[in-house]
A and B are shown apart, each in its own frame.
Chain A
C-alpha cells in the first residue's frame, strides 16, 4: 500500500503535543446536531493536509478530540471540520463564537491513497457521518476531475433530516461527470428518492472490477455488507479502501487507545486497505 501520509511540518515533529492556534472564521449549523466550522491557523500557514487526515482540536480547559478534516486541500487557506455535538469538546465548541481560538494539532495520520485512485474509476461510499471525511476527497476529485476516470458517489443516511451538505449534494447531483446516488433508511413525506441501506444503491451499479477503487467510510455494519458486495464483483482486497473510527488521544502513535493488534489507527491509518484490516482481529468490529 502506498503511504500517503504527509510529512509532519517542523513544529509538529519538534513538539508533537503542542497545539498550533487556530481561529473560528465561520460557523454554519447544518442540522440540529451537526455544525460546520471554518478554521484558519492564526500564523497564516496552510494546514497542508491530505484528504482523509484528521486534526486534534483543543478547547483549552475542556479537552482535546480528534476530527477528520472535511474540506479539500485544493480549496486553500482555511479548513473545515463538520462536528456532531455529542461530547464535552464538541459541546464546548458549539458555544464558541466567530474569532474564538482553538488549538489544532495536525494534520495527522494517513489519508486516502489518491495515487492509487488517479487514472481509475473512483467509487465513493459514505454512510452517515462518513460523508464528512469523504467530502474532502470529493472536493479534490472534483477539482482535479481530469485525473480520474468514472466517479460514482453513493451516500446513505438514516433519514432525510440527517443528510448533510444539501446544497453541495445538489451541485454534485447536477454534474454530468459524477454519478451521485443517495438513499435513506427511513423516508419522510417529502422524500422522493431511494429508500433502503446503501447496499441497495450498489446493487444497481455496474462496476468494472479491474479499474474501480472503492473508498468507504461509515459505521462498522456498513463496512461488513459493502465489503462483501465489492469483493463479490471481483475487486481485489488491496484496492478496497476504508477509514476507521477509533478513540484517539495523542494522535501520534503512543497513547494506545486506537491500537488494533500492532497497528495504531492514528498513524498507520485511519485509512487502510481491506487487505490490511482483514488480518487484524477487532478491526472491523
Chain B
C-alpha cells in the first residue's frame, strides 16, 4: 500500500488570531504553528495501515518554508518521505486552488490511498480532500471514524447526523478523518533524529506544470472582502439565589418570560 497524506500547518487552536492591517488576512508573526489536528489523525492512520500491510507513507504539504516543520513532524511520527510545494505563487489560495496544486503533486507519486483531514482548523473549509479526489478522478469518502483496507477496496465508517454509514470504494481512493479514528502517536526522540535524514522533495508551481494564474492568491474564486471579530455578546447576567432551587427557578423564569426560549 502506497499511502499519501496531505498535511497542513495551521495556527495552534489556543492562538490569539488577529486581523492584519489590510483587514483581510491575519497577523502571522506571533502565532504558534502546528499540524492541523485532523491531519495528525490522517498521518496516524496511514502509519497503522502501513504497519499492518507494508508499503510507504508520503506526506505532502503546500505552504511557506515554515510548513516544512509540519512535514518533519510527520516524518518523525514515522512517515517515509515528504513533498513540499514551496512557491510564493502557491500561497493565499482558496481550497480549490490549493487542491489543484495538491492533485498535481500527488499525480507524480505512486498511491493506492490518500488520507487527509476533514477540515483545516484555520479557515475551516472542509473542501480540499473532495476536490483533490475529483481532480485525480478517484472516489472519496469524508468524515471517517474507522477505516479498513480490504482487497482492493476501502471500507469506511462515515459519521453522519444521528449515526454512521459504512461506505466502500475501490482503490485508489481518498478519505478524510474524523475524531475517534485513532489516537495519534507522539514523535519519539529516535523518530525525530531519524526524520532529519528522511528526504523532503521541494517543488515549485513550474515543476508541477501548473499555470501560476490558476493557483494561489491569483487563482482565488472565493475572495475575502473583510475579516472582523464575531459580534460581541452582552455581558453575562449572573443569576443569584439563596439556594440552588431559587437560582434555578429564576433562570427558568427569565428564559420563559424574557428570552422566550421555553
Q: Does B associate with A?
A: no
| Residue ranges of A at the interface with B (Cβ–Cβ < 8 Å) | none
